[in-house]
Chains A and B, each alone.
Chain A
Amino acid sequence: MRWTWFHRLASPPYLYGLAARLTPWFAWPAALLILGGLYAGLVLAPPDYQQGEGFRIIYVHVPSAWMSLMVYVIMGVAAAVGLIWRMKVAHAVAASCAPIGASFTVAALVTGSLWGKPMWGTWWEWDPRLTSELILLFLYLGFMGLRAGFDDTQRADRAGALLAIVGLVNVPIIHYSVIWWNSLHQAPSVMRFGKPAMPPAMLTPLLVLLLGFTLFFAAVLLVRVRAEILQRERAARWIGETLRT
């Protein structure tokens, strides 16, 4: 097994340059997929036989909820890599993930609430799925707050990483909450074993949006990681050289 790619990624100047080059390759496909997916979800997908047009909230709710979980997993794994291999850029990735993940957790909670009112008759319920998603938001905010409490970046990295790793326990709880407990929230209809429980005309826009949001995350993360690297490497000589070119 050759690990040279891993070592190269761990080099701040290399990662900085790579992030700058890769950003447009994620950003433009993301923009096209999100715009196309939203159009398809709002206009092309047929109304649901039970929820009528109301089900169209799925096209913003599910991608937001997916982001809230995926970003947390990436944050937790990056934090673990940073802690175990003392890799500075991994901590930079984890720190960059938090505000993105937190914002999409808010979107998932708000769109879920807006969906819950007409379908369940309530904006909020202390239900396992809803409560565990709210805890996810507090984990993101706690991670950001804890980091901000340290002046020393290394100590902020280590303390934040521990919290992020412990918080990973919440991810399977959110995913399986609707199966383990009696929940108002419906069971998974896309991310489950076997066939998704949706017809292709409804499912396709959703898959397009899931991919679009994921690429969007990659693009935003790359921009944020560059900012993090610049701050962390402020004493390094390569920065002055990079800026002059």
Chain B
Amino acid sequence: MRAFLDMGGYAAFIWPSYLVTLGVLVLNIIWARRSLARALQAARRRSAGPGEGA
């Protein structure tokens, strides 16, 4: 296990690379879902009826 984590001495380069890429994947999921949730919320507010807000 320690040998695997050490990655032949390249641990300091390999693990950050994987972490950054996984981070970008996860962020893309979060950002996309958040933008859809916001757009849905705004659309629901509008269809709930005119008169409140713009």
Point out the residues of chain B lying under 8 angstroms from A34, CB to CB.
Answer: 25
Are B10 and A106 in contact, with the CB atoms below 8 A?
A: no
Q: How far is the CB of A212 from chain B (nearest CB, A)?
A: 10
Judged by DSSP, the binding face of B is: helix
Chain B interface size range: 20 to 34
Total residue contacts A-B, CB cutoff 8 A: 100
Point out the residues of chain A lying under 8 angstroms from B32, CB to CB.
Answer: 100, 220, 223-224, 227
Are B24 and A61 in contact, with the CB atoms below 8 A?
A: no
Are A226 and B17 in contact, with the CB atoms below 8 A?
A: no
Are A230 and B18 in contact, with the CB atoms below 8 A?
A: no
- Take A99-B31, A243-B47 as given contacts and tell me if A118 and B13 are in contact as well, using a CB distance cutoff of 8 Å: yes
Q: How far is the CB of B1 from chain A (nearest CB, A)?
A: 12
Q: Bound state CA distance, A224 and B18, in angstroms?
A: 25
Cβ of B44 under 8 Å from chain A: yes
Chain A residues within CB distance 8 Å of chain B: 34, 38, 42-43, 47, 52-54, 56-57, 60-61, 63-64, 99-100, 103-104, 106-107, 110-111, 114-115, 117-118, 216, 220, 223-224, 226-228, 230-231, 234, 239-240, 243-244
Interchain residue pairs with CB less than 8 A apart (21): A42-B18, A54-B10, A56-B10, A57-B17, A63-B21, A64-B21, A107-B24, A111-B20, A114-B14, A114-B16, A115-B13, A216-B28, A220-B29, A227-B35, A227-B40, A230-B43, A231-B39, A234-B43, A234-B46, A239-B46, A243-B44
